[in-house]
Structure 1
Amino acid sequence: MRASFWFGWILSLQMALFWLWGVPSAAAFTPEQQLVLQAWRTINQAYYDNSFNHQNWWEVRDRTLKQQIPNEEAAYTTITKMIATLDEPFTRLLRPEQYRSLQVNTAGELSGVGLQIGVKAGSDAIEVIAPIAGSPAAQAGILPHDIIVQIDATPTSELTLDTAAVKMRGATGTNVSLMVQTADNSPREVILVRQKIELNPVTAELHTENGRKIGYLRLAQFSAKAAQELADKIDRFKQQGVVGYVLDLRNNPGGLVQSGVEIARQWLNEGTIVYTVDRRGAIDAIDATGTALTDAPLAILVNEGTASASEILAGALQDNGRATLVGTKTFGKGLIQSLFDLPNGSGLAITVAKYETPNHHDIHKLGITPDRVIPTPPISIAAAATDKDTQYLAAVKELGVGS
């Protein structure tokens, strides 16, 4: 009996040692493999789809680490290929220059042509979400849903979303050639001169309609500065005696989700702003905090370029009955990304959750339908909120002060 016990114990010890020796320790990996492993681990912990596109994510790890990864560039390529198996365009590797560029963008300034881009649903095409007001792209007439076919001599079919963005940015005064295709038209070449893009997130104008004061607010992007700037403008309008507001979210491609939540709280005293649904199916409600800045009537302008955080804000105010939405159906991006640092200055943008409006509408690839659908041909930024802007006139009428 004793001999049998010792034999079994020794056999178990041998098996345990074999298992430990068969699994490389973290120290056994090269720096390049450790970079890949860190990316895999971060996605494993954060990605919103715990089926990882219906594949065994551990097998992906083992298969990936068996590849030759001789240098940092090979590590980036390996991570990109690993992420591609998820078949979801918003989760992506950000190389150091891309990561810095994205951080600068959300901070509110960059140098380039002024295009917000995404991946067209159902394809790999690079699609325009919206041009930034006053940018070279906007002045050239590039519109939401245009397809960027080529950047300089490179077809965009060979580029990732972030690589395409980096190629369009550059030193002020330099040129970039875009091949742009609008629906039902042949591609056209557009030569743009890069400029410093001032991302002033809020434009405010005091309008008088039928003898009553209206506060017109155009929100271009949800940057880190947006909520405070909007609060300052609302406070100034209150002092000027406005009786209603028009909030223009047309061609606003989103930005920081937290900024969208903060702005929703400026208009809502109570109610849910948005629900987030994580990888476990757990639903978390983000609510108003009783800090609304005004209870004056509000109409919101939206269109096909209204996306992401803009849709969170529009959906929150529509479902809570706080605002009337006017315009055309929104873009339909209902996934939330967070940024994660990697070594060497690189990073990951990972889809960590999807969101639903307060009435539990999942808008991803569906968009939000306005209360009043008012189609309108594209107009210039200069014509926005004028007598030529039929959507704006309809919004004013919803406030009860229009003709």
Structure 2
Amino acid sequence: MDINNGSFNSGPMGMVPTQDPNEQEIREQKKKLTRRFVSGILIGCFIALFICAGLYLVYGLRTGRPMAPASASLSGGEELINDETISKIQILEDTIDTYYYKPDVDKEAEAIGMYKGLMDSLGDPYSVYYTEEELEELMSDTAGVYYGIGAYVSIDEDMNLPRISGVIPGTPAERAELQTDDIIYEVDKESTQGLELDDVVSMIKGPEGTTVHLTILRGSQNDQIEVDVERSAVEVPTVSTEIVGEREDIGYLKITEFDDITPDQFKEGMAELRENNIRGLIIDLRSNPGGSLQAVCDIAREILPKGLIVYTVDRNGEREDYSCDGTKQIDIPVVVLVNQYSASASEILSGAIKDYGIGKLVGTTTYGKGIVQRIFDLKDGTAIKLTVSDYYTPNGNNIHGIGIDPDVEIEFDSDAYSEDKTDNQMEKALEVMEDLLDN
């Protein structure tokens, strides 16, 4: 027990005021509760527990089907919000207000902590509470579109300053002639020295049509350049392509994540590859964390034969199928690169390709995330993400916590890649492709 002034005792509630509340005091506390901050907290808890059948947003693996409201009772049938919990919340708040060593406690932060704690109590890392700011960022990430300048930024460890690590074609950053390896010394005349990457990115992002002023250090002499960049909507590339192989007749298509924009980018990439008369396709899903269920199903419909893509099963045993009509089944050999960080939607696509036998998986066993989340809008700018079902590959495999084993297992040789950029997994994928073409 921490040193204190003796005004606490260790009763059955733990560290509480010396006088235990009786029934009358509890009633008074409940009345007071309706007039104080805690009422707001409880309303938030009610919102989180009794999710209205209204508008919900979709994120991660999304099904697009409304869910029944969650139960608000404890495992033993007792209600979560009752006299005891109301009283205890009041006691906690009073104790903090009276004895916490900092006099000014952020009540909004306390409320957010309660909401997040409620979700944390599920013991599910994928079920979380989002503040307004977190929700806005989440939706921007899911859409694959944000408002900024179109430059990738990392932290230069030597200078402890942000460095531009890439420029997206056709964006304000390219039009402003920003370059890879430019150091961002200031943003709107504010130093970026020692800032976290997220802080720098937040400073650069902003509403469409507004301008951000950057002070850039360029080249070995650190020439200082002042540039104004007008922010605009930036579509983040999630698909990249190239022609590979000794005879330059193998298409290589990398998907970094499955956002709302990814299916269109996939179709464009495939069209470009087809123009080169490719004889085989390598799809690279390594380190792809997943994303939208709708997006991965749309892409699967460009490849798979007629039949199931994936199906989900909820807590009530209700099943929902996602199918493909087979009209666009791919007619060339396919090899899929996967690793231990290929998760969620990546496993849906690679699992379906493996189950149908239309391609070979090369690499290492995938991550093993076989559950589905949905975002529920709480109508006040905030939301919760909740795990709502399991998913299964076409052959009925639930890969959660297990992953998908590749047909050809090969560990990535990081030493070789560091030395001369040799990608041994890619080389193996090309070998497997040549075998498929020869047969």
How far is the alpha carbon of 1:342 from its aligned partner?
1.4
1: distance between equivalents of 2:373 and 2:419? 34
1: distance between equivalents of 2:403 and 2:316? 24
Matching residue of 2:251: 215
Does the residue aligned with 2:138 lie in a helix, a strand or coil?
Answer: helix
Does the residue aligned with 1:203 lie in a helix, a strand or coil?
Answer: strand
1:170 to 180, 194, 202: 202
Matching residue of 1:199: 236
Matching residue of 1:35: 44
How far is the alpha carbon of 1:317 from its aligned partner?
1.0
1: distance between equivalents of 2:197 and 2:325? 37
2:254–2:283: 8 Å Cα contact kept in structure 1? yes
Does the residue aligned with 1:319 lie in a helix, a strand or coil?
Answer: helix
Gaps of 5+ in 1: 1-23, 116-132, 140-152, 154-163, 175-195
2:111 to 75, 98, 117: 75
2: distance between equivalents of 1:64 and 1:35? 14
- How many correspondences in the alignment? 313
2:434 aligned with 1:397: no
Percent identity for Structure 1 against Structure 2 = 30
TM-score when scaled to structure 2?
Answer: 0.61
- Two-structure CA RMSD over aligned residues (Å): 4.2
2: distance between equivalents of 1:327 and 1:241? 26
Which residue identity does 2:79 align to in structure 1?
A: E
1:32–1:71: 8 Å Cα contact kept in structure 2? no
Matching residue of 1:59: 79
Larger Rg computed on CA atoms: 2
Structure 1 residues 288 and 343: alpha-carbon distance in aligned structure 2, compared to 1, 3 A threshold: same
2:319 aligned with 1:283: yes
Matching residue of 1:142: none
C-alpha distance after superposition, 1:151-173 (max 9, x if no partner):
xx9xxxxxxxxxx9977963348
How far is the alpha carbon of 1:299 from its aligned partner?
0.4
2:303 aligned with 1:267: yes
2:251–2:278: 8 Å Cα contact kept in structure 1? yes
1: distance between equivalents of 2:377 and 2:314? 21
2:328 aligned with 1:328: no
Matching residue of 1:230: 266
C-alpha distance after superposition, 1:166-219 (max 9, x if no partner):
779633489xxxxxxxxxxxxxxxxxxxxx997310001022x24251110010
1:48–1:353: 8 Å Cα contact kept in structure 2? no
How far is the alpha carbon of 1:295 from its aligned partner?
1.8
How far is the alpha carbon of 1:337 from its aligned partner?
0.9
1:199–1:221: 8 Å Cα contact kept in structure 2? no
Does the residue aligned with 2:341 lie in a helix, a strand or coil?
Answer: coil
1:277–1:284: 8 Å Cα contact kept in structure 2? yes
2: distance between equivalents of 1:314 and 1:359? 13
2: distance between equivalents of 1:91 and 1:382? 37
1: distance between equivalents of 2:414 and 2:47? 46
Structure 1 residues 389 and 198: alpha-carbon distance in aligned structure 2, compared to 1, 3 A threshold: farther
Matching residue of 1:124: none
1:304 to 340, 345, 360: 340
2: distance between equivalents of 1:201 and 1:353? 26
2:413–2:423: 8 Å Cα contact kept in structure 1? no
- The worse-fitting range, judged by mean Cα deviation, of 290-299 and 57-66 is 57-66
How far is the alpha carbon of 1:257 from its aligned partner?
1.6
Which residue identity does 2:292 align to in structure 1?
A: L
1: distance between equivalents of 2:317 and 2:69? 9
Which residue identity does 1:95 align to in structure 2?
A: T
Structure 1 residues 47 and 324: alpha-carbon distance in aligned structure 2, compared to 1, 3 A threshold: farther
Matching residue of 1:357: 393
1:113–1:197: 8 Å Cα contact kept in structure 2? no
C-alpha distance after superposition, 1:77-125 (max 9, x if no partner):
222222222111111100011000101111224688689xxxxxxxxxx
Gaps of 5+ in 2: 1-30, 54-65, 94-105, 156-164, 168-179, 181-193, 205-213, 216-232
Aligned residue runs from structure 1 range 116-155, under 5 A: none
2: distance between equivalents of 1:289 and 1:38? 40
1:33–1:75: 8 Å Cα contact kept in structure 2? no
2: distance between equivalents of 1:219 and 1:169? 23
How far is the alpha carbon of 1:55 from its aligned partner?
2.8
Which residue identity does 1:94 align to in structure 2?
A: Y
2: distance between equivalents of 1:337 and 1:213? 39
